[in-house]
Amino acid sequence: MSFAAPFPAPFGATPSGLPIERWTLRSASGVEAAVLTYGAVLHSLSVPGPGRRPPAGVVLSLPDVKHYVTHGAYLGAVVGRFANRIAAGSFTLDGTRHHIPGNDRGNALHGGADGFDRRVWRAEPCERPDGAASVRLSLDSPDGDQGFPGSLRVSVTYTLTSDGSLTLDYHAVTEGPTPVNLTHHAYFNLSGDPDRGVLDHLLTVDAATYLPIDETGLPLPGTPAPVAGSPFDFTRPRRIGARITEPDVQLTRAGGYDHCWVLDDRVRPSGDGQLGLRRAARLEDPGSGRVLEVHTSEPGLQVYAGQQLDGGFSDFLGRRLGAHAGLCLETQHFPDSPNRPDYPDTVLRPDQILRSRTVLSFPHLTAVAP
C-alpha cells in the first residue's frame, strides 16, 4: 500500500513572529488529518461515512493561530507537562516541594497557564516500513518550566494507516525526576456539524468505576466509585445527553461530564513488544453512521462533554462552538497523581523512558456489508 508523504504548508505565525506549519497526512481509506506545530494540535480529521459516503470533519478546530492563542480551549492540542489537575498546583517529589501556577480554581490544569498546548513544536516526517503517513512533533521543556523539575524532551508522533486509524505515540525522557502525564484534547463530533452537538451521540466507556470529584474538579479521597446505576454508567451504549441534566451532585459540580473513568484492565498485546492496548471508548453518531473507537495504553479516560464551550469563538466555517459542540476522550493517568500515592505512579526518572500510545480507529470504514 502506498501513501502520500506528509507535507507542510505555512499556517501563519504566533504574536511573537514564530512561523507555524500545518502538516497534512492522507490515507488510502479516504481519511485525512492535519497537524499544527502550534500546540501539536490536530487541526482537522476528515472521515468518510459508511459506504464511502462523503467525508466530514470530526474534530472541532479554529481558523487561524490567533484564535488558538486567544481562545484555545485546548482544542486538539497535546497537553502537558501534566494533563488534568494538580491540587493547589503543589506536590512533593523526593523531599522537595514544587509549585505550579494555578490556572483553574486554585489548581494547576494541563501543565499551567503556559503549557505544551501553547508551545511551538518542531516537526519532521517519519519513514515507516509500511509507508504510512507519519509526522513527529518534538518539544524541549527546560528544568523549572512552569515550576516542574527536570528538563524534559517530549515527542508525539501522528501516524495515519491504510485503514484510516490515527495513532498517537508519545515519548519522553528527562534529566531529572518529574511527574509527566500527556494527553490529547481533541473535541470529537462525528456528525461534522457542531450546531448539532454531541448529546445524541452514543457513548460506551469500558470502565466499571470512575473518580468522583470535589467542587474544584479534584478526585475525592478514597477508592473509585462504581458506575452501576448512576449517570456515569456507559458500560453499554447510551446517549450522552440521556442523564446529563439529572440532579446528581457529581454532574452539578462539573456542570455535566468532566470526570476520569478507571479503565477496565483488559489489555491486548500491541504486536511491537512494547505496549499493550485496551479499548477505552466507543462513540457512535446514529445520524451519520460514523463510529470512533479509542484504544490506549493509559489507565484512565477523562470524558469531558464540552459544557464550558460558550459560543464565544467560531470554527473555520464561521460556526459558533457552543456547549456540547464536541466531546473530549482524553486518555491519561489519573488527576492529581503526584499527590495520590494510591494512584499509578506518574514520576519519570532519568533512567526511564515514557512511552504511551492511543489509537483512534473508525470501524465503520472496514465493516463488511451484510
Instruction: Pinpoint the alpha helices (H) of 19-91.
Output: 65-70
Whether residue 185 lies in the annotated active site: yes
DSSP state of 102: -
Radius of gyration in angstroms for the set of CA atoms belonging to the chain, rounded to a whole number? 19
HSE, side-chain direction, 13 A CA sphere, residue 11: 25
Q: How far is CA 197 from CA 34, 42, 239, 255, in A?
A: 22, 19, 12, 16
Whether residue 184 lies in the annotated active site: no
Q: What angle do CA 85, 112, 147 make, to 5 degrees?
A: 105
Contact 80, 180 (CB under 8 A): yes
Residue of 43, 330, 333, 364 marked catalytic: 330
Contact 232, 172 (CB under 8 A): no
Contact 338, 86 (CB under 8 A): yes
Contact 133, 123 (CB under 8 A): no
Contact 88, 344 (CB under 8 A): no
Beta carbons within 8 Å of 272's beta carbon, 6+ residues apart: none
Which is it for the CA torsion 225, 228, 232, 235, positive or negative?
A: positive
Contact 193, 59 (CB under 8 A): no
Nearest to 319 by CA among 197, 199, 202, 190: 197
Nearest to 124 by CA among 107, 110, 138, 104: 138
Residue of 98, 185, 259, 333 marked catalytic: 185
DSSP state of 121: P
* Residue 9 three-state SS: strand
| Catalytic residue IDs | 185, 330
